[in-house]
């Protein structure tokens, strides 16, 4: 096996690993509100979401086309150099996903990936390595930055109006019947978000893998994305979704707004509509920012509801720094890969990725969040108040 082929295989496996982290990182986008209101049990919710993510991945390829050919200026770049860029960008995305998951912050997996790729491309090729502005189908500004700014505000507005309308229309109805009815409705709306998530997010990894295959010379940019790439990406994101990102589910379901079933229905319906629309236009939208904006909107739209602005502030800070910090990690990883040689450098970065990922997983076990405590009352932090701390567990 040649060094080039081995690097390609490493890139593909790393891309699928990113897809897996995207799945469990973003499960909360579809299912946090349904779990919080009791519309679905935690395990049932993630199983349903995983199945629909799998189906959604096959519904469109517009986002994949944007990622594979609309962000990086790779014309004339040597194939091995491009593989290094893609690999370094993926590592940046994975490490940011895992760090924000550890902290329970629902940041954007999409922006982590794009930040990593942009940082690696700038390090390797300079600023000209990125398509900053382009036509209607290309460009970081039009395809990433503008949607990133608009999505949470639009989602919050739509969800706020929807929530206000729901409570106004049901103001004379019996609250118990209303809650029960909307819990049933949440099963449908949450399912639609899961389907939309698969349609949008699985394609991002498809686009990255296809970019690597084009770099290697296996395919040309005019070829269709092969079915095996679609199947592998669909399975990876579905598997990650089924694992359940309980730390982020807890933050979105309990930390931002105390959600009732009408609010959950309004949030999920708003998110699904916006994400599906963006997928049809090939916009690699952040489903996390959309879902968070929708949940925030339900707090604003329900009379008397409380929004925890401190939690929202932490989320917004993470959104602002995701692209640049993932870009820094991607750039550093590219320098290591490039200085170490075509294969040695990649293996060094791979070892760093495995070591860092293992540390973060072990660190998460010190204050685990799972199906048993994901819905515990929010007491100002990720760890439930009724969970014994580390010293108490050690003493026991």
- Return the ∠ at Cα 100 (arms to 106 and 297), rounded to 5°: 15
CB neighbours (10 Å) of residue 127?
10
Nearest to residue 379, comparing CAs of 251, 291, 199? 251
Residue labelled with tokens 């295959």: 213
pTM higher than 0.85:
yes
pLDDT tens digits along 287-333: 888 999 999 999 999 988 888 999 999 999 998 999 999 999 999 99
pLDDT given for residue 396 in this prediction: 33
pLDDT given for residue 379 in this prediction: 79
pLDDT given for residue 216 in this prediction: 81
pLDDT given for residue 163 in this prediction: 93
> In this structure, are residues 268 and 28 in contact, taking their beta carbons and an 8 Å threshold?
no
> In this structure, are residues 239 and 95 in contact, taking their beta carbons and an 8 Å threshold?
no
pLDDT given for residue 222 in this prediction: 79
pLDDT given for residue 263 in this prediction: 92
φ, ψ dihedrals at 257, nearest 5°: -145, 140
Record the tokens describing residue 91, joined without a space: 């590592």
Cβ-based neighbours of 158, under 8 Å, separated by 6 or more: 270, 273, 274, 294, 297
Helix 62-69 and helix 175-216, axial crossing angle in degrees, nearest 10: 40
CA separation for the pair 145, 150 (Å, rounded): 9
pLDDT given for residue 241 in this prediction: 92
pLDDT given for residue 41 in this prediction: 93
The segments of the chain whose pLDDT lies below 50 read 386-396
CB neighbours (10 Å) of residue 177?
10
Number of H helices, E strands in the chain: 15, 0
pLDDT given for residue 282 in this prediction: 67
- Return the ∠ at Cα 179 (arms to 37 and 369), rounded to 5°: 5
Nearest to residue 346, comparing CAs of 76, 119, 74, 82? 82
pLDDT given for residue 211 in this prediction: 85
DSSP 8-state symbol, 381: S
- Return the ∠ at Cα 113 (arms to 240 and 320), rounded to 5°: 110
Rg, Å, the chain Cα set: 21
């Amino acid at each position: 096996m040649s060094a080039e082929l081995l690097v390609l295989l490493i890139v593909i496996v790393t891309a699928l690993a990113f897809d897996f982290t995207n799945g469990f990182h973003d499960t909360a986008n579809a299912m946090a509100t349904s779990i919080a209101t009791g519309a679905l049990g935690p395990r049932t919710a993630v199983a349903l979401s995983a199945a629909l993510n799998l189906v959604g991945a096959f519904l469109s390829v517009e986002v994949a086309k944007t990622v594979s050919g609309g962000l990086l200026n790779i014309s004339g770049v040597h194939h091995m150099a491009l593989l290094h860029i893609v690999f370094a960008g993926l590592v940046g995305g994975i490490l940011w996903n895992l760090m924000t998951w550890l902290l329970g912050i629902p940041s954007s997996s999409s922006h982590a990936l794009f930040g990593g790729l942009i940082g690696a491309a700038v390090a390797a090729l300079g600023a000209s390595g990125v398509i900053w502005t382009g036509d209607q189908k290309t460009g970081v500004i039009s395809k990433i930055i503008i949607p990133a700014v608009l999505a949470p505000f639009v989602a919050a507005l739509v969800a706020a109006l929807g929530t206000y309308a729901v409570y106004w229309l049901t103001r004379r109805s019996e609250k118990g019947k209303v809650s029960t009815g909307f819990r049933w409705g949440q099963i449908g709306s949450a399912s639609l978000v899961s389907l939309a998530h698969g349609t949008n997010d699985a394609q991002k990894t498809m686009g990255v893998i296809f970019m690597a295959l084009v770099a290697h010379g296996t395919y040309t940019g005019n070829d269709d994305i092969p079915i095996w790439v679609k199947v592998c990406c669909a399975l990876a994101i579905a598997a990650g979704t089924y694992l359940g990102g309980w730390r982020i589910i807890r933050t979105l379901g309990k930390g931002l707004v105390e959600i009732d079933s009408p609010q959950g229905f309004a949030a999920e319906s708003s998110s699904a509509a916006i994400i599906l629309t963006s997928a049809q236009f090939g916009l690699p939208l952040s489903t996390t920012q959309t879902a968070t904006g929708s949940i925030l909107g339900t707090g604003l739209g329900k009379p008397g509801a409380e929004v925890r602005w401190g939690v929202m502030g932490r989320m917004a800070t993470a959104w602002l720094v995701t692209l640049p910090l993932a870009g820094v990690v991607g750039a550093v990883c590219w320098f290591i890969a490039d200085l170490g040689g075509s294969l040695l450098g990649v293996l060094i970065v791979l070892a760093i990725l495995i070591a860092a990922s293992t540390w973060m997983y072990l660190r998460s076990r010190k204050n685990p969040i799972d199906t048993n405590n994901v819905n515990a009352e929010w007491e100002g932090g990720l760890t439930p108040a009724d969970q014994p701390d580390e010293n108490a567990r050690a003493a026991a």
